A and B are shown apart, each in its own frame.
Chain A
Amino acid sequence: MPDLPIILAGVINGLLAGGIYVLVAVGLTLIYGVLHIINFAHGSLLMLAMYAVFFLFKPPVGIDPYLALPIVTGGAFIFGYLVYRWLIGRFNHGRDENILLITLGLSIVIDNAALMFFTGDIQTIDVPYAGRMVELGAAFLPVPKIISFFAALLLCGALGLYMARSDTGKAIRALAKERQGARLVGIDVDKLFAVSYGIGIACLGAAACLLMPTFYVSPTSGHAFVLIAFTTVVLGGMGSFAGAAVGGFIIGITESLGGLLLGEQLGQIGISLIFILILLLRPSGLFGGKG
């Protein structure tokens, strides 16, 4: 058993990682909450956004990942909007596994297209501030992780405010609660579905920008995040914003402490176990309403 300060450091590190998970999960939970679809392509789309950040950073463009945030986020929104309009929206009918299978098909296409065009090599970007650390007790915290943590929370807060206050946000929330009713009061349902999917994917764009300074990307990067994102969302309750936020932190800390106490390999098991246990025991999540 490691000492208390080391555990504390693990908790802090987990919290920092959790900030990004919150952002990724908020996108997933928004899509689920409004569209009632499980977006299995979430990890693959995140991977794609990470490649976008990578190529924007490399010459000849050379944009810092943080400065690229508006570009990649906007691009991801448009991409998500179009994916919904051209693909998911057309086929979003029938059994609920159908859309899961369609988004699985989409993720197979994206993963292998990435493999074909970008090769299987692991890519990283070297930002000058990557190695900078802040000392906090026993914890040495990389500055980019601190930046990404606060940026992720800021963005989630801004999105929450947007959903709460703006007309579009109100319409989307109305849509999530009552589809037919929303249609009756004149809300353009199909357009708002596409916008919601776009916002969900935009969250991934932002997350990619915040991840890349301390992470790597390869065509299989999405796999690592798929289960994390689903676990976060299921933990907090599918469709719940606040749940996704709390879930993200719990998952971040679980992962960090799991690695610390059980070692690099076995430590990853915590996330899958949480996922299984929540589904078996409390499928509505910690904060969900009815089961």
Chain B
Amino acid sequence: MSRGTLALCAAGLLAAILYPLVVRGLAGAGVGVSANYLINVGMLVFFVAFIGQSWNIAGGFAGQTSFGHVVFFGTGAYCSTILHVTHGWNPWLAWPVATAAGALVGWAIGALAFRAGLKGSYFALITLAFAEVFRILANSVEFTRGGLGMLIKADQRPENFQFRDPMWIYYLALALCVVSLAIAWQLTRGRFGARLVAIRENEDAARALGIDVYTEKVKVLALSGAMCAAGGTFYAQKYLYIDPSIAFGVDKSVEMLLVSMVGGAGTVFGPLVGSLVLTAINEGTRSLASVVPALKNVQPLSLIVYGAMLILIVARLPDGLMGLFGRRKSGKRHDA
């Protein structure tokens, strides 16, 4: 990492840490903003960047495009919620268990799919089918309370993984995001990451170099699944409610894929950049809808823009928005 990049990272982190204090200050000084709303928006940026990064590690670095990443997210959300609500566990204790469950599901799906030799579009489609199986199961079995969903009792104490002040959940999301960035950065430096990139670029060549392609792919899916599941628990504890279509619906899968692809698949900062842009577009259309009454149904516009951006980026800009920043990163894609 060059000195300039390092300085930029430090400045960005400092800005992110100061952000809640600044918006509080502005609100306190009588500027017409809702501090908690803005802090919440910031929290979402980092949370989506975090789950986006979990997608990026498998889909971007290792090139295993998944359409059903939500299967890990939902596993984490349900696992911790069931342990907490049904079995009375402390959610902080349930969190690592949920994360491990995500790794296990990632390992299992990877072992099945990669042993069968599925890659490319077929891998993408089978992950979608797995997510659908989990959604239907969560909808049907007793211990998830079926379609009713699961409610977590509000008890706003930090030791209970619930915060009265949105600032703390914001900092938690920021911390998760920083951890995910560190993991991704490590992938650009370490041997594991190099093996993943080799697999992405040419599986046969990677195998010829002596890389155990199957094991590496299973490992990366387990890692990705663990991260995504951790995000699921975070989500459940933030919103205190999950149901099968939130936890295993296609929307979250698409969101993770979108932020990574648009920001730059296989780059360290891609998911964060994508998440920032997605949130900016979202908030833009939201305020447009609230200001201009004739445009009150304009909300889906943000996703229309994002779908169009996905098409353009796949076709013209394989490094995503990150590709626009100066020299190409070492984790670039050579195709297209």
Contact = CB atoms under 8 A, between A and B. Distances in A.
Given A96-B120, A280-B116, A269 B65 contact: no
Interface string B110-144: 00110011101110111011101100110110000
A123 interface: no
A290 interface: no
Contacts of A91: 311, 314-315
Nearest to A87: B311
Interface string A83-120: 00001001101111110111011111101110110010
Contact of B146 (A96, A113, A265): A265
B291 interface: no
Interface in A224-245: 227, 230-231, 234
Interface in A120-137: none
A112 B282 CA distance: 13
A108 B307 CA distance: 5
A276 B254 contact: no
B250 interface: yes
A98 B336 contact: yes
B120 to A, nearest CB: 5
B303 interface: yes
- Greatest chain A CB density within 10 A among B122, B257, B306, B336 is at B122
Interface residues of A, number: 43
B310 A105 contact: yes
A97 B129 CA distance: 17
B116 A279 contact: yes
Nearest to A112: B300
A113 B298 CA distance: 9
A275 B136 contact: no
B307 A101 contact: no
Interface residues of B, number: 46
B304 interface: yes
Contacts of B133: 269, 272-273, 276
Nearest to B302: A112
A279 B109 CA distance: 12
A272 B129 contact: yes
A38 interface: yes
Nearest to A101: B314
Contacts of B221: none
A119 B336 CA distance: 37
A94 B335 contact: yes
Given A227-B129, A276-B126, A276-B133, A112 B303 contact: yes
Given A272-B133, A279-B125, A279-B126, A116 B118 contact: no
Contacts of A104: 67, 254, 257, 307, 310
B297 interface: yes
A38 B124 CA distance: 11
Interface in B266-298: 297-298
Contact of B254 (A87, A108, A227, A268): A108
Contacts of A90: 315
B147 interface: yes
Contacts of B105: none
Contacts of A234: 125
Contacts of A279: 113, 116, 118, 122, 125-126, 129
A275 B126 contact: yes
Nearest to A282: B116
A230 B121 CA distance: 12
B336 A280 contact: no
Contacts of B130: 272, 276
Interface in B126-174: 126, 128-130, 132-133, 136-137, 139-140, 146-147
B126 A101 contact: no
A288 interface: no
B320 to A, nearest CB: 12
Given A116-B298, A265-B136, A108 B303 contact: yes
17 contacts: A91-B311, A91-B314, A97-B65, A100-B120, A102-B310, A104-B307, A105-B314, A106-B311, A227-B128, A265-B140, A273-B133, A275-B126, A279-B122, A279-B125, A280-B112, A280-B113, A283-B117
Interface of B: 65, 67, 112-113, 116-118, 120-122, 124-126, 128-130, 132-133, 136-137, 139-140, 146-147, 250, 254, 257-258, 261, 297-301, 303-304, 306-311, 314-315, 335-336
Interface of A: 38, 87, 90-91, 93-98, 100-102, 104-109, 111-113, 115-116, 119, 223, 227, 230-231, 234, 263, 265-266, 268-269, 272-273, 275-276, 279-281, 283
Given A100-B65, A272-B133, A273-B133, 16 more contacts: A91-B315, A98-B315, A101-B314, A104-B307, A112-B307, A113-B304, A231-B129, A263-B140, A265-B140, A266-B136, A266-B140, A272-B129, A279-B125, A280-B116, A280-B126, A281-B116
